[in-house]
Structure 1
Amino acid sequence: MRVSLRWLRELVGAPAADSASAAADGLFGPEFRAEELAERLSIAGFEVEAIDDLSAQARGVVVGYVAERAPHPNADKLSVCQVEVGGDQRLQIVCGAANVRAGIHVPVALVGTTLPAVQLTIKPAELRGVASSGMICSLTELGLGDSSGGIAVLDDLLDEVPELGSPVGPSLGLDDTILELAITANRPDGLSMQGIAREVAALLGLETRFEAPPEAIDARPLPGTAETRRAIEEGGLFSLTALTGLAVTASPLWIQRRLQNAGVRPINSVVDITNLVMLETGQPLHAFDRDRLAKLAPAAGTPGPARPEADPAAVGLRHALEGERLTTLDGEERVLGPEALTVTYGDRPIALAGLMGGADEAVQEATTAIWLEAAVFAPQAVRRSARSVGLRTEASSRFEKGLPLEATLAASDRACQLLQQICGGQVESRWLHRREACESAPLHLRRDALHNLLGPVVVDGEADDLADERIEQTLAAIGCSLAAEPEGWVVRVPPSRAMDLRREVDLIEEVARLVGYDHFASHLPDPIEPGGLRPEQQAERRLRRGLCAAGLQEVCSYSLVNADPARLPLANPLLADYGHLRDTIHQELLEAARRNLQAGQAGFWAFEIGAVFNREGGQRELLVGVISGERRAERWSSSGKPRPPGYFEARGCLEQALAGLQIVTEDRVLSDHPLLHPGRASLVVVEGRPAGWFGQLHPEQAEQQDLPAATYVFQLEMAALVTAATRRNRWQPSFSPFPTVPASERDLALVVPTSTRAADLLQVMRKAGRPLLEQVELIDRYEGTQVGEGQCSQAFRLRYRDPRRTLTDADVEEAHSRIRQALERQLGVQLRS
């Protein structure tokens, strides 16, 4: 947004009876430095990207009068001019412009002047043997757009030419400074001069000085189809105002200056007025030539040739059909699709709603009657439409951020007022359709809540609560209306800020922002409470550290993926390839493993903790990891040959990471997972409930994805891990005294079916061996002819200890016998002789 300080000064001023604000008004007067205002705006949230001092473009350029003009003796296309520049000073200037002649006033760049627009410094010169001291300038050389190619003739440009020798800049609008503001999505009011004026008034303690709104124009219902009414109600409002008797000419110079300073090219008086009102109020408008519109297509439902008069009943609003074409005002023929929202006449597209009008009904010099469209279109519809045709305009940038319905007709009334004053038009009628308004509830701003959150301000070195008068003045400056109540105020937010100010804390933030954060005293919160991580956060951090210590590296993959029927689509994706939310994480990690291995890496050991989404919008947090290839720095121990980890080594890495959280897991056979090897996969159980899975990648999957056979994948539910890890802060270290008595060890060999899990045997032994059994572990597993077909031998080492006394053989034997009996009774095992 390009903001003109000259225009801004007309919109902001001090109350007549307020001396303090009058002083601030003086600061904002002609001598006010743009750098100071830019700093205040940046601190308040409107970042100033650049400051453009237009006066530099015409510094050293004065008003001159061509007293004589003679042809150059040595060049046919040059003229020798005698130019008066004030007093008795007369300069001889050689000029090559075809429109130079005696008796005209022109801008003259004196010797020593630098023209930034063309990067030229004027020096005394000799052109084809004739001396020249200065240069007669064109508008282009002064940084103003001009297509004529000749010098600027001030008699044609200005109503009153300044005296000779005076600076020409102020007369051409080059006494202004432009601030380039970056407007965030939550502040659409910043895309209007009135919105910026309210902001500046609040920052400097001033008041806005807007013109009184013109009298509202009566409206009658807009005829149209049910489809059109539905499309209008999605956005909120659509109106057409009919004007006749217009004389389309070049705009007055003051309008052209304001448009040019804002970066908008002047077209003609009607179009320029709609653009001016858009810059002033933030509401885009569009004018249709009614006579040309009536010739485009017959009115809706009317057979035969087009009616001589345009019919509002023929106006519609709908999405374009696939392959429909529209030539827009920029001369481009655009192929439309279903995402493009169009305004139609007789079901024929005549404009891209919220973006740009069509060329066939554009206002021209012969136009005498128009329809002035003022509407509010749904932001999402305008964004989709703009993306579908690859077009973004000043209008769409405003519609995309959202516009208040309450300001739309006021902007239309303002444009009608200017069209009457400048173009001589007359308002005939207005048609309107809008959805039913829903008045927002007022907000309650408590005085104590504001002071407790913001703290005191520093005034003359003393800290004190912000005065009520300053709070009221600040909120009133941005358009809020306040009513006092015992505990504070009842605040009604203006429509222009309804999207941003929705809660009490938003009003408090607004006061702090506009008063200035640097004005508030630094103080500690009361009461002071210690901060820290919640147990769930501590558990997640310990898990990350544990996985890294086990040799895995944390990665982060995109949560947006390509289309799939099982995935949740985004309503407004930026790219088609990233238009859905992911429902898995392991696929992204496997692709990353393939890329790393193909790039020459020896292995890929990585994990990610992230969210996945289902089709219904549900969300859950997962821990997913991939162990592929080897991860070591030496090969002397394997004679230079690669040695990828086996199943149990990979499973041990995960177990090592979970051990830091004191989480005990149990593995159960998993044979039906489509991603995993049916004989090398397990269901990971935490606290008796399945929490995820671990296994070797299925050989077919490994071949398809060009990964080594020794690739292992795991997936665990974070909710189950965090819940288990945070029970009674089980990872907190606790002291256990060192044993002072010896332990006694026994080995136990059991013959069991090959399907019997060691975990089941361990569980029975730990329970039956209490309280003397201190540790039990599997030390051997054997299958062969000596134990029979379908059987295997599992050997365990058991350690017994009583911390208070030395155990006797009888004590140990009693516990050992109890364990054997429990195994025989519960699992039917046989002791191996």
Structure 2
Amino acid sequence: MQFPESWLREFCNPQLTTQQLADTLTMAGLEVEELEPVAPPFTGIVVGEIKEAVQHPDADRLRVCKVDVGGAELLNIVCGAPNARVGIKVPCATVGAELPPGEDGKPFKIKVGKLRGVESYGMLCSAKELKIADDHGGLLELPLDAPLGQNIREYLNLDDTLFTLKLTPNLAHNLSVYGIAREVSALTGAPLKVLNFPAATVGTQDKLPVKIEASDLCGRFSGRIVRNVNTRAQTPQWMVDRLARCGQRSVSPLVDISNYVMFELGRPSHIFDLDKIHGGLNVRWGKVGEQLKLLNGNTITIDDFLKVGVIADDKEIESLAGIMGGDATAVSDDTKNIYIEAAFWWPKAVAGRSRHFNFSTDAGHRFERGVDPEHTVEHIERITQLVQEICGTPETICGAMDDQQPNMPAPKQVSLRVARAAKVIGMPLTQQQCHDALVGLGLPTEQGDGVLTVTAPSFRFDINIEEDLIEEVARMIGYENLPTTKPLAPISPKLRAENRRGQYDVRHLLAGQGYQETINFSFVEEKWENELAGNAHPIKLLNPIASHLSVMRSSLIGSLLQVLKFNVDRKASRVRVFELGRVFLRDETIEESDTTVKGFRQPMRVAGLAYGPANQLQWGASDAKVDFFDVKGDVEALLAPMKVVFETAEHPAMHPGRCTRVLLDGREIGFVGELHPKWRQGWDLAHAPIVFELDLDAVLVRDVPVFQSVSKQQAVERDIAVVVAENVAHAAVMNAIQAGAPKGLLRSAVLFDVFRPKAGSAGGLAEGEKSLAIRLTLGSDHAALADADIESAVQAIIQTLAGTTGARLR
């Protein structure tokens, strides 16, 4: 919220300096984000009138002007502005004047100069040269009634200050200059100007037929017809200046009046071209497929995703309720008859609609937070008054007021316990202190025995519970006056179960294995989802921060590849990164709650990527590239001591023959594999990175250690070498060994050698076979194993291997 200090002081003028006023507002919760002067410092510039303007004898683009600044003689000034002409009044910098500082920070001083042989005793100024606007149109033309010789700072009120407030959503009643003045009056005790809305003289009983079909959208609708207005009139300079200092450019008289009243009183309104309305108006919810061209030039289509309120006539919809009017009924220079509308729209019926259509408006910003429903008629009277003053003609006729109230909000009563307020605020309070604070804010308050009952006025939508009143009391006392007290509360530590570990443990484990953590956006390119995640229907964003970041990710792999590409492009040869992040999946079984969104599951995942050499560069190790088995080992270390199983699988982002899924207790928890060759080529990578992605919930589970005494019996080791087909997986061999070993005897089975004969040398193996050397560790906790027991166990394992995998002893 931006506004000029002078406008605020018209309503409430406390005996405070500008900085003191800003500090008072800030300490009351209305944070003053910025104080900025309306104009930079300059001196010696006055109102002057051009009495004569002739062509310079030696320059086509220069004129020699005679300028009257209220002195005894006319000043001879050479000027190159295209609009320098006789009769206009402009700012004139006399000799000795100082213009605003330039880029070097030093002011520019006006001296007697000579331009192409003609002496110049001053300078005629544009708005840009005074640094009060970016206008490039030449000299700043002033109204013809501007007094000659008056200091331009005084005439244009340039010794003013712009206040920029950063308001929280519950302070919607301060989204107007008068609303802030009400707060200042309560904070300082300075009198507040009482507003007066004189009723316009009614010249006709004509009313536009209005039907309110949706009372849950519109609780009140007021309007008036005004005929024979002059829309070609010029907006007064005082209104243009005030709007500009509120950050709003002047558009046309009727639009400016509507905007002015919005900033003044906080009431968004709309003015229709009456002759463009077909029949009457109908206030209702929009229908799917209806379209509307808005005043900003956008054409929106109503869909079934979100209910949207509209104002329609007998032919089509004319505006988005509480947000923006339509182009079809917009006022123009040819408008003669208008319809002024001011309504109360329920905040929930407006909230989110602007963002749904990817734009925002001042009206929507106010209505979705709450606007006073009580004064629609009075505010139309204020608009009517300004319309008559600015656009009125002798033929202007005001129609009768039409005011419909189908669903007005009921007054809310909220009680405040003084003892409770003192406990929450943390300082002793009396009932009278609380009463004075609330009454000062304009809140009707009744006193009881230690309890105050407040009937929330219509402009305070935010007062619903006792804590809201406590906040108001604290604001009026002043946050700077609150004592510093340490909070007292029982501490109940939340202990994590022993069979789970925290996310930071996972981060530390991966960092210990040489991975670096990255943090990435949750919204990604749609191409990543289609190709890397195999997600043909990703969750699309309604309002993406960038056109290419348009969907929510269902996999972390694309984000890691982007990090890899960024580093590789900067000559990084070895990259190991990981991320713990949330992914977003469609799931109709998910219900709405405080932590979930209906229809969407948002699990956490942990993913990693390794690229380049397996080890850091050093003389004692070979420069081998990281491979699948390196990353597989990292995943096993991450999940240890839990035993996981790796099975051959397929994943859209991974090499078809070098990808496995990770199983824990028979449940799939993720994938490990080499990046698919086509994606490696698409990302222009010298060699393929190895990636993994796991469900974080599964990674956080860990086995609780169980005590087991050390066996007193010596273990026995036996090595066997079996020949199996090339396509027999290591997991299948190990499963067969576990199944064939007598119960309780097999301590471990470890593959320690794989033999494949070289081309042309059979080595006792047929083509397509390999030899696996496995060390079996056997033992018993009860007795030493006899040779017969050992031989029996080994034979049982060999027989099971032969039966399940087709293995034979070598």
Pairwise same-fold verdict (TM > 0.5): yes
Deviation readout 1:566-615 (Å, 9 max, x if unpaired): 32233444444333322222243345445655665434432221111222
**Residue in structure 1 matching 2:616, options 614, 633, 651:** 633
SS in 1 for 2:263: helix
Three-state SS of the structure 2 residue aligned to 1:588 is helix
Task: Letter of the 1:713 partner, please give it.
Answer: V
Partner of 2:512: 549
Residue 93 of structure 1: which of 75, 100, 104 is its match? 75
- The code of the aligned residue for 1:278 comes to M
Which amino acid in 1 is paired with 2:585?
A: N
Correspondence for 2:157 = 173
Structure 1 residue 657, shift from structure 2 partner? 2.9
Task: Select 1:795's aligned residue among 775, 783, 787.
Answer: 775
CA contact 1:696–1:712 (8 Å) conserved in 2: yes
- Give the alignment of 1:500-511 within 5 angstroms: 504-505=466-467, 508-509=470-471, 511=473
Match of 1:540 in 2: 503
Matching of residues 7-406 of structure 1 within 5 Å = 7-12=7-12, 25-27=14-16, 32=17, 34-42=18-26, 44-53=29-38, 56=41, 60=44, 78=64, 84=70, 90=72, 93-94=75-76, 98-100=85-87, 111-116=95-100, 121-123=109-111, 156-157=144-145, 169-182=153-166, 188-204=172-188, 208-212=192-196, 222-223=209-210, 240-244=223-227, 246=229, 249-250=233-234, 255-264=239-248, 270-291=254-275, 293=276, 299=278, 311-313=279-281, 334=297, 336-338=299-301, 347=315, 354-355=323-324, 358=327, 362-364=331-333, 369-375=337-343, 376=345, 378-385=350-357, 387=359
AA paired with 2:11? L
CA drift at 1:359: 8.9
Structure 1 unaligned regions, length at least 5: 14-24, 300-310, 457-464, 802-809
Return 5+ residue gaps in structure 2 as ranges: 79-83, 527-534, 587-598, 757-762, 803-807
1:622 aligned residue:
605
How far does residue 46 in structure 1 lie from its aligned partner after superposition? Answer: 2.9
- Contact (CA 8 Å) 2:207, 2:224: kept in 1 or not? no
Pairing of 1:770-789 with structure 2 (within 5 A): 776=748, 778=750, 780=752
**Shift in CA distance, 768/491, structure 1 to aligned 2, threshold 3 Å:** farther
**CA distance in structure 2 between the aligned counterparts of 1:380 and 1:655, rounded to whole angstroms:** 47
Contact 2:292 2:318 in 1 (8 A): no
Which letter does structure 2 place at the counterpart of 1:609? L
User: 1:655 — aligned with what?
Assistant: 636
Deviations 1:417-451 (A, max 9, x none): 44456647554245577884555865555545544
CA contact (8 A) 2:77 2:121 kept: no
The answer to whether the 8 Å contact 1:221/1:432 transfers is no
Shift, 1:261, TM fit: 3.8
Asked if 2 retains the 8 angstrom alpha-carbon contact of 1:611 and 1:622, the reply is: yes
Structure in which a larger fraction of residues adopt helix: 1
Indicate how the Cα distance of structure 1 residues 221 and 138 shifts in structure 2: closer, same or farther if over 3 A, else same: closer
Tell me if structure 2 keeps the 8 A contact 1:768–1:818: no
- Please point out which of 487, 496, 518 is paired with 2:480: 518
Q: SS at the partner of 1:9?
A: helix
Q: Distance in 2 between matches of 1:650 and 1:492?
A: 67
CA distance in 2, matches of 1:128, 1:695: 80
Quick check: 1:271–1:363 contact (8 Å CA) kept in 2? no
1:167-223 CA-partner distances (Å, limit 9, x unpaired): 564454345332244556665545421233244345546564441566799998954
Cα 1:586–1:137 shift into 2, 3 Å = closer
How far apart in 2 are the matches of 1:767 and 1:522? 69
User: How far is the alpha carbon of 1:667 from its aligned partner?
Assistant: 0.9
- Aligned match of 2:734: 758
Give yes or no for contact 2:49–2:67 (8 Å, CA) kept in 1. no
2:594 is matched with which residue?
none
d(CA) in 2 for partners of 1:760, 1:540: 36
* Counterpart position of 2:759: none
Which residue is equivalent to 1:606? 577
User: Quick one: structure 1 residues 768 and 799, their matched pair in 2 at CA, closer, same or farther if it must change by over 3 Å?
Assistant: closer
Contact kept? 1:787, 1:793, Cα under 8 Å: no
Q: Is the 8 A contact 2:286 2:302 kept in 1?
A: no
Q: How far apart, in 2, do the equivalents of 1:65 and 1:645 lie?
A: 82
The secondary structure found in structure 2 opposite 1:577 is coil
Query: Can you list the C-alpha shifts for 1:735-771, whole angstroms capped at 9, x where unaligned?
Result: x99x9x99844214468886645368569989826xx
The equivalent residue for 1:768 is: 744
Q: Which of 747, 751, 759 lines up with 2:717 in the alignment? A: 747
Amino acid at match of 1:11: F
For residues 692 and 90 of structure 2, the distance between their equivalents in structure 1, rounded to whole angstroms, comes to 81
CA RMSD of aligned residues (A): 5.6
1:587–1:26: structure 2 CA closer, same or farther, 3 Å change rule?
closer
**1:720 paired residue among 691, 698, 703:** 698
CA distance in structure 1 between the aligned counterparts of 2:325 and 2:788, rounded to whole angstroms: 89
**Cα distance per residue 1:104-147 (max 9 Å; x no partner):** x9977665333439975444567899988767878887777899
Deviations 1:249-307 (A, max 9, x none): 5556654553354354556654443222011123333323435x37xxxx3xxxxxxxx
Describe the shift of the 1:72–1:575 C-alpha distance in structure 2 as closer, same or farther (beyond 3 A): closer
Is the 1:561–1:579 contact (alpha carbons within 8 Å) kept by the matching residues of 2?
A: yes
Shift in CA distance, 815/184, structure 1 to aligned 2, threshold 3 Å: farther
* 1:219-266 residue CA offsets vs partner (Å, 9 max, x unmatched): 989546xxx956x96677765421235466555665455335435455
The alignment partner of 1:813 has SS state of coil
Residues of 2 paired with 1:470 and 1:790: CA distance? 91
What's the counterpart of residue 20 of structure 1?
none
Distance 1:385 1:649, change over 3 A: closer
* Structure-2-length-normalised TM-score: 0.71
1:544 is displaced (CA, Å) by 0.4
In structure 2, do the counterparts of structure 1 residues 98 and 555 end up closer, same or farther at CA, with 3 Å as the change threshold? closer
Can you list the C-alpha shifts for 1:440-477, whole angstroms capped at 9, x where unaligned? 86555554554444423xxxxxxxx2555554555555
Output the TM-score relative to the length of structure 1: 0.70
Percent pairwise identity: 26
CA distance in 1, matches of 2:20, 2:173: 22
Taking the aligned partners of 1:395 and 1:117, their CA distance within structure 2 comes to 38
Offset of residue 8 of structure 1 = 0.9
Q: What is the CA-CA distance between 1:545 and the residue it aligns to?
A: 0.6
- The alpha-carbon deviation at position 651 of structure 1 amounts to 1.6
Partner secondary structure for residue 578 of structure 1: coil
**Residue pair 2:578, 2:607 contacting (<8 A) in 1 also:** yes
Per the TM alignment, residue 63 of structure 1 is displaced from its structure 2 partner at its CA by 7.6
Describe the superposition over 1:670-701 as per-residue Cα deviations: whole angstroms up to 9, x where unpaired. 44656556765554344665433434456676
Q: Does 1:580 align with 2:543?
A: no
Give the stretch that moved more between structures: 141-150 or 202-211: 141-150
**Corresponding residue pairs, total:** 738
**Residue 142 and residue 664 in structure 1: after superposition, are their counterparts in 2 closer, same or farther (change >3 A)?**
closer
Q: Secondary structure at the match of 1:113?
A: strand
Shift of 1:554: 1.7
